Amino acid sequence: MSKEICPAHNCTGCGACVAVCPKRCISLQPNPQGHLLPQIDENVCVNCNLCYRTCPANTPVPLHESQACYAAWAKDEKDRITSSSGGASSVFAMHFIEQGGVVYGAALENNKIQHIRVSSKQELPRLKGSKYVYSYAADVYSLLKQDLVAGKQVLFIGTPCQNAAVYNLMGGHSNLTLVNLICHGVPAMQMLTDYLKAKNITKIRQIQFRNNNKFEFACNDYNAYECLFPNAYMTLFLNGVTYRESCYRCAYAQAKRVGDITIGDFWELEKQTPFTEKDLTKGCSCILVNTEKGNSLLNLCADKLNLFKREYVEAIRGNGQLRAPYPYTPCAKRFNALYPRYTFRRAALYSSAPVLTIEWIKLLLKKYAPQQIQQFCFKLYRRFRGI
């Protein structure tokens, strides 16, 4: 029986075990669904147990009650509209670069999404936009450590489990600021590449999952929202069908947060607000301040942001992952049983036909129905969905 660092159903694929191993005998290998899990070369392993002790599943990190909640967006209009959620992360990243620091975040690199190191303003646009897929981060942890040793200010932006990995590897270093995303869950990169292969795309030159605050998928010259049929990849992601097993039992999908600042979309702001519809259609960030270090960063960037203090309950109302993980639905169970025995597209259809049908009806309404009928139907749908 092979050595196990943590139970597979708890593994987030954060890569902390890969980075900490002194013998470099751990690698992340895909399971049948493409989710990466650690594999140990036991011929090289010296049983130091550093991997076991560093793994956030075995050594939980400190979680913090949020000190404050804000709705925000970048004052720079271009920065805001080229971001997915108001541009808060872009403002934080620019601040670090301007101060001579470095930023780590997810980007398209070598035909996949992975974390990269950014040290100049010219590179920052690569980090813009939501990436609704697993980002491989294990390779940047050693670079991040070198930057801290060199005395640089470092900003790391990633999922809560990646924040936890960095914390366990680096500790609460004074020069390290951790920003975590309000994460729904992550599909495997294999799922995305399989979906794109059906569209005859094997080389990803550019990819978009969001167009400002709209869910619009585009890759190279393929734009799914020019079609009459729903984008199976996005539909299954938004309905929690394609996540890795640990996402459905995520230890970080709760009110207490890992890291210094939490960012995401501020959905469903109350109607009794200082915002107009025009204010919100260009994207609005939700910012949760979790530590004093996070509060200091927000204060340093306040002149670049339109900030509005809000009640935490408002953030929770539009972001269920601030309460609990996404449930493991029958559709997700069927999908995992069918994929990759079938292609991604077939497994999506066989496991989630009702979900895809609803999305198809929504597409037809948006394309052909008058605005008034659209609003009535979507209001009715949201009402019955909440029952």
Q: Which of 19-23, 93-97, 309-313 has the lowest mean pLDDT?
A: 309-313
pLDDT tens digits along 223-243:
877 776 789 999 999 999 999
pLDDT tens digits along 252-302:
999 999 999 999 999 877 665 677 766 677 888 999 999 999 999 999 999
User: 196 is written with which tokens?
Assistant: 């794109």
Integer CA distances (angstroms), 314 to 83, 102, 287, 320, in order? 22, 33, 12, 11
Domain-embedded: residue 2: no
pLDDT tens digits along 127-159:
998 999 999 999 999 999 999 999 999 999 999
33 and 108 fall within a common domain: no
303 and 166 fall within a common domain: yes
> Could you give the CA distance from residue 248 to residue 147 in angstroms, rounded to a whole number?
34
Q: What is the pLDDT of residue 182?
A: 95
Domain-embedded: residue 275: yes
User: 116 is written with which tokens?
Assistant: 């990269």
135 and 235 fall within a common domain: no
> Could you give the CA distance from residue 200 to residue 236 in angstroms, rounded to a whole number?
20
pTM of the model: 0.93
- Which band of pLDDT confidence, cut at 50, 70 and 90, is reported for residue 384? low
194 and 315 fall within a common domain: no
Domain-embedded: residue 62: no
Domain-embedded: residue 216: yes
91 and 226 fall within a common domain: no
Token pair 């939490």: residue: 262
Total number of domains constituting the chain: 3
292 and 176 fall within a common domain: yes
pLDDT tens digits along 158-198:
999 999 999 999 998 999 999 999 999 999 999 999 999 99
Residue 387: pLDDT above 60? Answer: no
Q: What is the pLDDT of residue 198?
A: 92
161 and 295 fall within a common domain: yes
- Which band of pLDDT confidence, cut at 50, 70 and 90, is reported for residue 366? confident
162 and 256 fall within a common domain: yes
Q: What is the pLDDT of residue 224?
A: 77
DSSP secondary structure string for all residues of 66-135? -SEEEEEEESSHHHHHTSSSSSHHHHHHHHHHHTT-EEEEEEEETTEEEEEEE-SGGGGGGG-S---S--
pLDDT tens digits along 55-89:
999 999 999 999 999 999 999 988 988 888 889 99
260 and 143 fall within a common domain: yes
Q: End-to-end CA distance of the chain: give it in Å, rounded.
A: 46
103 and 121 fall within a common domain: yes
Domain-embedded: residue 337: yes
CATH number for the domain spanning 19: value is 3.30.70
Domain-embedded: residue 155: yes
Q: Which of 157-166, 192-201, 312-321, 364-373 has the lowest mean pLDDT?
A: 364-373
Boundary residue ending a domain (283, 301, 322): 322
95 and 194 fall within a common domain: no
Boundary residue ending a domain (274, 289, 322): 322
Four-point Cα dihedral 311, 92, 295, 131, nearest 10:
50
Residue 382: pLDDT above 80? Answer: no
**Domain range for 200:** 189-241+329-385
The CB-side HSE value for 118 (13 A sphere, CA atoms) comes to 29
**Average confidence score pLDDT of the chain:** 92
